[in-house]
Structure 1
Amino acid sequence: MKINASVSIERWPVAGAFIISRGAKTHVDVVQCELTDGHFTGRAEATPIYYEGESAEKCAEQILQFVAEHPDLDRAIVLQNKPRGAARNALDCALWDLECRKTDKPLWQLAGLPEPAPLTTAFTISLGEPAIMEAEARKAAAKGHGLLKLKLSGQDDHARVAAVHRGAPAARLIVDANESWNDLDIAAEAARLAQYAVELIEQPVSAGRDHLLSGVRSPVPLCADESCHTSADVERIAPFYDAVNIKLDKAGGLTEAMAIAHAAQAADLKIMVGCMLSTSLGIKPAYALAQLAQWVDLDGPLLLARDRPDGFQFDSGIISPAG
């Protein structure tokens, strides 16, 4: 059956500023994709991966062009003919949503995932001076967030983590090095952070330089993010990491994200499910996949100044569907 597409680009303001080692963001542009067969409509949202050269305009154009070239669209066609990235994520997830509406079945059931239950999600503390991060951690803890994710830069990281621990001494911590530890003694750095309840270190080295982790005995599990985009990457990175962070925009949709999760499980890697800055529409399929994860980082909507009216509920660090 012929599929028609419509896309729109939406700009959502960030609450304050979202700061990582690559820079600060005060807003995020997302692409909303709707696919219809004339009777039912599936809807999805994707966030362009700016550090890979994507933009909302490019993604919107790619979606419309792809649907025009493949009128008998289905997920297999998308997976086989569209490179990974935000445009494919929007197409894949909109097709999943379309199938949900056509069959009147929930996503988890169609995808063969566990029935969703509320989950603890990390809350991100942006990169900043230690005193600022300490204050932000104290505010987050006061709101009930028991799992915090810190953005680091490779400089003064110990001071930043110590400050956050002072601000939220009972919180569990994840740190995201954002590829900044290439020139550091990673095992020693991890040992310094272990005393502060850090339980996961994301992407300590640059993607493509994972060999720097060979032989490293870290007291804290190491998690691949930028080093793992698709299921084909899992075998390559498995010798160097203990876990993998799966993001739907990075993988190019729920279909490939599930393949990564199954490959990770087969390789005895733990799973983290994360997200880009996005509204609740963007993390809806990721929430279904996150039922398989040991760590969940789906705070994208919480970092915005506002969310969609039918968005997820966030209560004391717990994410659950609205209603």
Structure 2
Amino acid sequence: MLRQIRSRIESWPLSSPFRISRGVKTAADVVFVEITQGDFSGRGECVPYLRYGETCESVSAQIEKAGDAIRNGITRDELLSLMPPGAARNAVDCAMWDLEAKIAATPVNRSLNVEPLRSITTALTVGLDTPEKMADAAQRLKGSALIKVKVDNNMPAACLRAVRNIIPDAAMIVDPNESWDVDLLEKLQPLLLELQTTFVEQPIPSEQDATLKGFAPLVPNCADESCHSTAGLEALAEHYQMINIKLDKTGGLTEGLRLINRARELNFDIMVGCMVCTSLSIAPALHLAQMADYADLDGPLWIAKDRDGGVTMVDGKLNLPQNAVWGGPN
């Protein structure tokens, strides 16, 4: 039976600005995909990222180009060869997972032999700002088990101390978003250790990864922008101790599963992360996070009004959205 596919660009306003070293977001701009076969429909979402040369328009064009193959019943494995890793493939792949689950009347987690699904401790983000404003933002996260602190190369020590003074006990991820160089990273090692940093996420530009060869950090480094898919993973072992898996980079849950399995074989620690997005993006990532060491999946918590049935925070943990959002029959 032929499938139908449709996509559209959506913009979801944030409840407050989200600041990182590259700029400020006030809305989550996503591409929504729906694939229909008979009486069943599967949905997916992606967040195009300009850092990787993506826009909502370019991603929509990629999806349209693959439309005939999708309508003619291409499989998820075949999709890996048809489309490159990235946001467009993620939306299509996740819509296929959702469609298959509904046709089979079998939730995705059961297909993955992940039962029961558990709520997840997620990092909660303190966005980049002045040390004083970051301390104010940290006040709202007191009691959190895991926080992520966004910094750049302007007063990182003061920003980190300001947050740590407010939240002394939480596990803390430091995320410079590629804004440091190896010299600054080395200089900050004693401070990172003093502040009991759990790990540093992508401290330097991915193009400078070679400068990390032979560097022995006091705190582990986690590859984010440097890690997209299974290809090239082995080379990262010379530079990083951890990887951050985002489905918008891997191009969907299918490749995400391959990546996490190979990363385990190479003894990487693993975080599953996200862009700023709705719960439709987070649902498949939460399935993958069941197999990871850390989760950074607070994207929907920045949305002023999420999709109906979306994720909720209960007792400090992120609960999965309803199956009606993604993942199988109601």
Q: Is the 8 A contact 2:77 2:254 kept in 1?
A: no
Structure 1 letter corresponding to 2:279: S
Task: Please give the secondary structure, in 2, of the residue aligned with 1:302.
Answer: helix
Q: Is residue 2:14 matched to residue 1:14?
A: yes
Where structure 1 has 5 or more consecutive residues not aligned to the other structure, the ranges are none
Deviation at 1:209, TM superposition (A): 1.5
Q: CA deviation at 1:48?
A: 0.7
Match of 2:106 in 1: 105
Pairing 1:79-228 to 2, within 5 Å after superposition:
79-113=80-114, 115-141=116-142, 144-228=143-227
Instruction: Report how far residue 200 of structure 1 moved.
Output: 1.0
Do the aligned partners of 1:162 and 1:196 also contact (CA within 8 Å) in 2?
A: yes
Structure 2 match to 1:28: 28
Q: Which moved more, 1:47-56 or 1:27-36?
A: 47-56
Q: What's the offset of the Cα at 1:108?
A: 1.7
In 1, distance between residues paired with 2:249 and 2:99?
22
Match of 1:248 in 2: 247
- Identify the residue that residue 57 of structure 2 maps to in structure 1: 57
Q: Which residue of 1 aligns with 2:318?
A: 319
Task: Give, in whole Å, the separation in 2 of the partners of 1:50 and 1:291.
Answer: 29
Give the Cα–Cα distance (whole angstroms) in 2 for the partners of residues 239 and 262 of structure 1. 19
Deviation at 1:113, TM superposition (A): 4.2
8 A contact 1:200–1:221 mirrored in 2: yes
The alpha-carbon deviation at position 65 of structure 1 amounts to 2.5
Whether the 8 Å contact between 1:187 and 1:219 is mirrored in structure 2 is no
CA distance in 1, matches of 2:184, 2:275: 29
1:144-177: CA deviation from partner (whole Å, max 9, x where unpaired): 4221101111221111110001121222210112
Q: How far 1:294 moved relative to its partner?
A: 0.9
Deviations 1:58-87 (A, max 9, x none): 222321321224422220221111011111
Q: Deviations over 1:104-134 (max 9, x none)?
A: 1111222344542111000111111111111
- 2:43 corresponds to: 43
State how far apart, in whole Å, the 2-side matches of 1:104 and 1:216 are. 50
Structure-2 residue corresponding to 1:305:
304
Between the aligned partners of 2:79 and 2:227, the Cα distance in structure 1 is 20
Q: Which range is displaced more, 37-46 or 90-99?
A: 37-46
Checking the alignment, whether the CA contact within 8 Å between 1:186 and 1:216 is kept in structure 2 is no
- Give the AA of the match of 2:298: D
**Cα distance change, pair 49–66 in 1 and its aligned pair in 2 (3 A):** same
Note if contact 2:273-2:296 (Cα within 8 Å) is conserved in structure 1: yes
Flag the 1:179–1:114 CA change in 2: closer, same or farther, 3 A: farther
* CA distance, structure 2, for counterparts of residue 161 and residue 114 of structure 1: 38
Q: Give the Cα–Cα distance (whole angstroms) in 1 for the partners of residues 18 and 256 of structure 2.
A: 25
Give CA-to-partner distance per residue, 1:221-267, whole Å, 9 cap, x none: 11000011011121010121111000000110001111111111000
Q: Identity of paired residues, percent?
A: 40
Preserved contact between residue 182 and residue 212 of structure 2 (Cα < 8 Å): no
Higher deviation after alignment, 76-85 or 88-97? 76-85
Q: Which amino acid aligns with 1:148?
A: I
Distance 1:114 1:182, change over 3 A: farther
Question: TM-score, length-normalised on structure 1?
Answer: 0.95
Closer, same or farther: CA 270–139 of 1 in aligned 2, 3 Å: same
Contact 1:120 1:318 in 2 (8 A): yes
Q: Which residue of 2 aligns with 1:275?
A: 274
Equivalent residues of 2:109, 2:117 under 8 A apart: yes
1:322 to partner: Cα distance: 4.3
Closer, same or farther in 2 for the Cα pair 1:114/1:227, shift >3 Å?
farther
RMSD: 1.5
Please, which runs of 5 or more residues in structure 2 have no aligned partner? 323-330
Task: Name the stretch that deviates more: 1-10 or 118-127.
Answer: 1-10
Cα offset for 1:208? 2.4
Contact 1:247 1:275 in 2 (8 A): yes
